Structure 1
Amino acid sequence: MAPPLSADKLVEALKAEGVKVVGHPGWRDNNRNHKGAWGPVNGTMIHHTGPYSTEAGILEYCFDGSTPLPGPLATGVIGKTGTVYLIGNGRANHAGGGDARVLAAVTEEDYGAAPPAPRYGQGDADAVDGNSHFYGWECVNSGSGNESWPKAQYVAMVKAQAAICRAHGWGAKSVIAHREWSNQKIDPRGIDMAGFRADVAACLAKPAGKWTGSVTPPPLTVEQRLARLEAKVFG
């Protein structure tokens, strides 16, 4: 549990970790702080964006949001080539409702391979507001199950989470997936979170910026394996 990083400290932490950072015009003043608390923060959360036509298009959508879900929809968007686009500075509409047991486990960094399975999601009476407690990172991927996670993107995802954790003095168990927070979510699809946290821990074990990106490759999903098999048989 800690006060949120300032905009300058966030940029400093990401760059120190070796991440390419691009600030979207207006990101420093883009937040939902007028709608609820922002902080103290307890962790950082990764998502997949869902269907998109272009990376530029999904970036604009995550910055602006929509009428039912105003932006920003994350702290940042992590693109396919590993660029981290900062789109918000403060509370963002990304986590929604989740489970208090998960929040406690993340705060204490007290769980095994995964936090307790969430029992609640957005709209449930007993759900906790995750938007006040977590940084959010939308990672460009359709979430279809057959879209790959390029190494450059995956490495940037790991480094971005390590940057937040290092800045706050947290360990890798302060990093969770949206699906580990809410029982209504599946994202980020295709990322094994135990392996992802192991890579964050490996990054944190080295001085900032010294991790080489030797990663635990995300396993192929069932859809990806079937697609490759079909290509071999019918291609």
Structure 2
Amino acid sequence: MATPMTAATFLQALLDEGVTVVEVGAWETHNRNHIGPWGPVHGVMIHHTVTSGSAHTVEMCRKGYTGLPGPLCHGVITKDGKVHLVGYGRANHAGLGDPDVLAAVIDERAVPVDDQASVDGNRHFYGFECENLGDGHDPWPDEQLRAIEKVSAAICRVHGWSAASVIRHLDWQPGKSDPRGVDWTQMRERIATRLGVPPVVVEPPKPARPVVDLSKLVAAAQSDPARAGTPVTYAGVKVVEAALVDAGLLEKRYSDGHFGSSTVDAYARWQRRLGYSGSAADGIPGMTSLKKLGDKYGFTVVA
């Protein structure tokens, strides 16, 4: 028994577990909470959609259909292993189910055969719909099975649940067969194994600092038509111009990748800001002034 996570905590739990998440619209507030309560939560329920085509499946689970408004789950697991978040809160995925099954989930023991449908499962379970025809022939790619494992473990990890808290729709509601074709004994083992190891939190890579070659930059600056010669194009010019814009020395409209007279004048103002004067503030970059610009505005200089 647990209070549902906030949407932000839910999202972070999935990301920490290494899930590839796609956020669909304002999923955080798309729910059926006006119809009934959401929580306390006791487990995770896995379904299949009886559909094909990722875009169609995600849209259906987000909007629902005649007689069953969406969201139809919290996340849609497509065949490529991506988890599309379509709602958060009460969702139309579980329906009425067996109270004896709920009691077993709460106690984290093997569930009995479901033969009743009298308890509101939409209130008590996180739900994930998996893109699959449910005919016993439509394959379950490894990426999709891995995503089921990850989302289940992520939620169990936050709430302190074991793999016994993850059930199928067929365990809950009489007459259901989903997720048909998944070896559930093996899946439970995979979830349990994952829960035995702390998740590897993947930090997003820090963007590499741009590198500006001083000699190429000087060639570009000296090639200005006002000084004669053909303009030299060099990617580092845009980096320096962006820094001069941030420094308030160059109008953004002149940040165009051409070290023209406007950029030369702006760089001369940077040099004067550093204390240079006369020919030392001619607008042609030097190592010391360029390095100071790079240190302040995030690029590296090489000779």
Q: Could you say which TM-score interval applies, normalised by the shorter chain?
A: 0.7 to 0.9
1:34 aligns with 2:31: no
What is the distance in 2 between the residues matched to 1:185 and 1:41?
21
Letter in 1 for 2:60: Y
**Secondary structure in 1 aligned to 2:22?**
strand
1:148 aligns with 2:139: yes
Q: In the alignment, what sits opposite 2:226?
A: none
What is the distance in 1 between the residues matched to 2:107 and 2:200?
26
Uncovered stretches (5+) of structure 2, i.e. residues with no partner: 202-303
2:175 to 172, 184, 202: 184
What is the distance in 1 between the residues matched to 2:138 and 2:57?
16
Q: In the alignment, what sits opposite 1:13?
A: 13
What is the distance in 2 between the residues matched to 1:80 and 1:61?
16
**Per-residue deviation at 1:176?**
0.1
What is the distance in 2 between the residues matched to 1:10 and 1:204?
17
Letter in 2 for 1:18: G
**Further displaced range: 201-210 or 88-97:** 201-210
What is the distance in 1 between the residues matched to 2:51 and 2:27?
23
More relative contact order, 1 or 2 (CA 8 Å, 6+ apart)? 1
Q: In the alignment, what sits opposite 2:163?
A: 172
What is the distance in 2 between the residues matched to 1:202 and 1:110?
17
Structure-to-structure mapping, 1:34-113, within 5 angstroms: 34-52=34-52, 54-111=53-110
**Per-residue deviation at 1:208?**
1.1
What is the distance in 2 between the residues matched to 1:86 and 1:176?
20
Letter in 2 for 1:120: Q
**Per-residue deviation at 1:184?**
1.7
Structure showing greater radius of gyration is 2
The sequence identity of aligned pairs, in percent, is 51
What is the distance in 2 between the residues matched to 1:21 and 1:209?
16
What is the distance in 2 between the residues matched to 1:143 and 1:26?
29
1:120 aligns with 2:111: no
**Per-residue deviation at 1:67?**
2.8
Q: In the alignment, what sits opposite 1:205?
A: 196
Give the helix-richer structure, 1 or 2.
Answer: 2
Letter in 1 for 2:45: M
1:129 aligns with 2:128: no
**Per-residue deviation at 1:20?**
0.6
Letter in 2 for 1:59: V
CA deviation string 1:200-221 (max 9, x = no partner): 00010011138xxxxxxxxxxx
What is the distance in 2 between the residues matched to 1:155 and 1:39?
27
**Per-residue deviation at 1:51?**
2.5
What is the distance in 1 between the residues matched to 2:102 and 2:54?
31
What is the distance in 2 between the residues matched to 1:56 and 1:136?
19
**Secondary structure in 1 aligned to 2:34?**
helix
Uncovered stretches (5+) of structure 1, i.e. residues with no partner: 122-126, 211-235
**Secondary structure in 1 aligned to 2:69?**
coil
Q: In the alignment, what sits opposite 1:232?
A: none
Q: In the alignment, what sits opposite 2:4?
A: 4
TM-score, normalised on structure 2?
0.65
**Secondary structure in 1 aligned to 2:46?**
strand
Q: How many equivalent pairs are there?
A: 201
**Per-residue deviation at 1:29?**
1.2
**Secondary structure in 2 aligned to 1:72?**
coil
TM-score, normalised on structure 1?
0.84
**Per-residue deviation at 1:195?**
1.5
Superposed CA RMSD in Å reads 1.0
Structure-to-structure mapping, 1:193-232, within 5 angstroms: 193-209=184-200
**Secondary structure in 2 aligned to 1:46?**
strand
CA deviation string 1:158-196 (max 9, x = no partner): 000000000111000000000000112000001122211
Letter in 2 for 1:41: V
What is the distance in 2 between the residues matched to 1:29 and 1:62?
15
